Structure 1
């Protein structure tokens, strides 16, 4: 393996690994000759970007509105008439026990929804991701978009017919069975890796990251204003429409990037066996020894798990934290807060590009973790709107750590193992949703009696673990490189 084979592979490389075929190179060459697919490095000004934009728009529009709807329905069921407004900004007023019960039940329903969707996705996403290496990326995009549309349809039925809020779980299960947003995200990055070369791939991945940030900001601002003006039902019709538009666009306009194999099977143990083999052997890259290689793979995966679990787990609490006293935000402010949260995707991307000019990737990740930790500490004591937005501002580099960790993982395995790594990272990311949501949605109601922002403080302490691991591994690598360098 030459030097170019072991160079850094960015998020697009990780999530979109080269398709592999167990039948050998001759069968692979024959299949490529029979099926015309886009060539690597071909020019596609727009390909899967609209799919990711529309899907992220629907997620960012739906999530805060669903939490607010749960709050209103739980308040109605308990006879809570919104007296939280009298407590806002007045620390002398004792907490309303009924409001505390509303917060607890709403947090629990958020937990049930997360458990329902992501526990199913934990099994489905790796299967769909590995299957797409043989069957093509487009079927995954269409199936997952339709599943998300089906979830929006279930939510609309609950709102129109005033069904029990427990029916929301049915929608989450249906979406999870189709792969949910994780499968769309993985398939989009995989598609970009298929049609781009190494020189253009960084820009294409940056465009996808920008789609996530921009669509999230737009949906957050629109959702808050629209909810205040017209309620919940009309915004959820837009959620349904965007998911259907995403599926239609993928079916009609996305050119397949992988030669489809009609014999490719989805339900097979081959996908999970490849993941197990990868983590048991430590990958086939020559970067480091076998034992050291395997140790790094596990440690960087642990870092990725902790960072993403904290991100998604704490994100579940923001709307609930802002709805209740002493902040008592309305839909408009909640929308602006969610927009500020999504802005970190863009600012982190810009900061990552600038910082890479003067420091190693590991130190870039540490700067991103420091930004995240400082923001979470401020959130834990944010009892005013000004402090809350200060926390959002401090998190402007909070998303810089995850692309570095993905790149680190991709360099630890060989080119033929990127597909297995892609499946494992998708599985870990689904598990992050499950564990993060479960931990923080359980911790929030349990700690309301002594410190409302305690879960954010716990999240900041957890991030010190990956910071320590990344810093230690970077120091060890520098020491090894210095020892092996000529003249040392």
Structure 2
């Protein structure tokens, strides 16, 4: 009888105590990463404007841009100001394209890689990309290197998937580790934290530029990326193909072993098969989805960057701190609109119709911003 109890105990061992690392969730990583992204959105345009002003012998005011609005429109100084704004716009566009085009291809690779090898490895790519980006920009700002070196930061960032890859992996992580009842609630929380993190970074960056200058802000971003890397290392893997668990179960293995049957050559072949023509039109759908992704990244980067130049000029003449607050509110209201408006619209419209309504609202925002002449109208447009 005693031996039977022993066998039963061995066959049904009591559940082991969960490690504190197994209780970690992905939300702190996402909000911290988006805080760093919010810092980058404004500072890169501000720095370009500063450097191009120096090269054009145009003196930018240190704390308040209202000096620009006091320039005589027929003066040579005003012509230099217009030239600086034009060159800054061009540089912003070139860097945005250099960042967006590689992301068009890397996003597919990293998405498939996360399904095959787990979420954590895919999360590390954009973190490394942002670390390289911040190092390059910090060195250029500190040692006044050529602006062309900035492409050495923008291109690797795109190749690493940009910020959307980490955000997408975070949502996938939540889907892997929650039940159907928990999933919607956690998704909403994650979406709110994503926009709040980026918005907080936007608000902080203006005050940081005025207080400590450009290089320290880039080094602060690098430190944030180091913290994110450490958190990813501690974060348990979530994907069922790696953990062997079904979605909704708490991951038990802190550092699980990758799938032993994974074959890199087969992985690339299956990825290429997605773009091969087939009777169902999958190839064209994939091309269309990638084009939409490319346009989305390009519009987000370009719109937020253009806002900085637009608010610095006439008739607004905003300071860096006020521009940061403005861009921060843009992120926050966009997140609230996505959570509240997206939920309400989907009660009455299909997904495609909801997407079209969101596009029309963005067009309306662009039109209001373009024709804004007062601060109130500009804020209402956002």
Q: TM-score per shorter chain, which class?
A: 0.7 to 0.9
Is residue 227 of structure 1 aligned with residue 216 of structure 2? no
Q: Tell me, yes or no, if structure 1 residue 97 matches structure 2 residue 79.
A: yes
Q: Is 2:329 the partner of 1:331? A: no
C-alpha distance in 1, partners of 2:327/2:352?
28
The residue aligned with 1:351 is 341
Deviation at 1:307, TM superposition (A): 6.3
Matched, 1:48 2:46: no
User: In structure 1, which of residues 334, 342, 352 is the aligned counterpart of residue 331 of structure 2?
Assistant: 342
2:69 to 72, 80, 88: 88
Alignment of 1:75-474 (within 5 A): 75-82=53-60, 85-88=66-69, 93-94=73-74, 96-257=78-239, 258-259=241-242, 260-266=258-264, 269-277=268-276, 281-282=280-281, 310-343=299-332, 344-392=334-382
- Alpha-carbon distance in 2 for matches of 1:299, 1:179: 18
Q: State the structure with more CA Rg.
A: 2
User: What do the CA deviations read for 1:293-315 (whole angstroms, capped 9, x no partner)?
Assistant: x9988888877776665444433
Deviation at 1:159, TM superposition (A): 1.8
Cα distance, 1:338 vs structure 2: 0.5
What is the Cα deviation at residue 87 of structure 1? 4.9
Secondary structure of 2:274 counterpart: helix
| Aligned CA distance change for structure 1 residues 363 and 189 (closer, same or farther; 3 Å) | same
Alignment deviations for residues 49-78 of structure 1 (CA, whole Å, 9 cap, x no partner): 222212211111012111101100110011
Whether the aligned pair in 2 keeps the contact of 1:279 and 1:298 (CA below 8 Å) is no
1:81 partner SS: coil
- Cα distance change of structure 1 residues 111 and 365 upon mapping to structure 2, 3 Å threshold: closer
Distance change (3 Å), C-alpha of 1:366 and 1:252: same
- Shift in alpha-carbon separation, 1:280–1:327, aligned structure 2, 3 A: farther
8 Å CA contact 1:223–1:335 kept in 2: the answer is yes
> What does residue 63 of structure 1 align with?
41
Q: Does the Cα contact within 8 Å between 2:103 and 2:161 map onto a contact in 1?
A: yes
Give me the whole-angstrom Cα distance separating, in 2, the residues matched to 1:146 and 1:45.
Answer: 25
| Cα distance in structure 1, aligned partners of 2:290 and 2:105 | 18
Instruction: Give the 3 Å change call, closer, same or farther, for CA 167–255 of structure 1 in structure 2.
Output: same
Distance 2:155 2:351 in 1: 38
Q: Is the 8 A contact 1:132 1:187 kept in 2?
A: yes
User: 5+ unaligned residues in a row in structure 1: which ranges?
Assistant: 1-43, 284-293, 393-488
* TM-score in terms of structure 1 length: 0.62
**Partners of 1:58 and 1:242 within 8 A in 2:** yes
User: In the alignment, is the contact (CA less than 8 A) between 1:126 and 1:271 conserved in 2?
Assistant: no
Structure 1 residue 357, shift from structure 2 partner: 4.0
CA distance in 1, matches of 2:273, 2:172: 18
SS in 1 for 2:58: coil
Distance in 2, matches of 1:149 and 1:305, equals 22
Taking the aligned partners of 1:176 and 1:295, their CA distance within structure 2 comes to: 23
Whole-angstrom CA distance in 2 between matches of 1:335 and 1:221: 4
CA distance in 1, matches of 2:355, 2:380: 21
Cα distance between partner residues in 1 of 2:205 and 2:30: 18
CA distance in 2, matches of 1:62, 1:310: 16
- CA shift, 1:251, in A, is 0.8
Cα 1:350/1:261, change in 2 over 3 Å: same
- CA root-mean-square deviation: 3.0
> For the Cα contact (< 8 Å) 2:127–2:225, is it kept in 1?
yes
Deviation at 1:339, TM superposition (A): 1.0
Instruction: Kindly tell me the number of residue pairs found equivalent between the two proteins.
Output: 338
What TM-score do the two structures reach when normalised by structure 2?
0.78
> Gaps spanning 5+ residues in structure 2: where?
1-21, 243-257
Counterpart secondary structure, 1:207: helix
CA distance in 2, matches of 1:255, 1:379: 43
SS in 2 for 1:276: coil
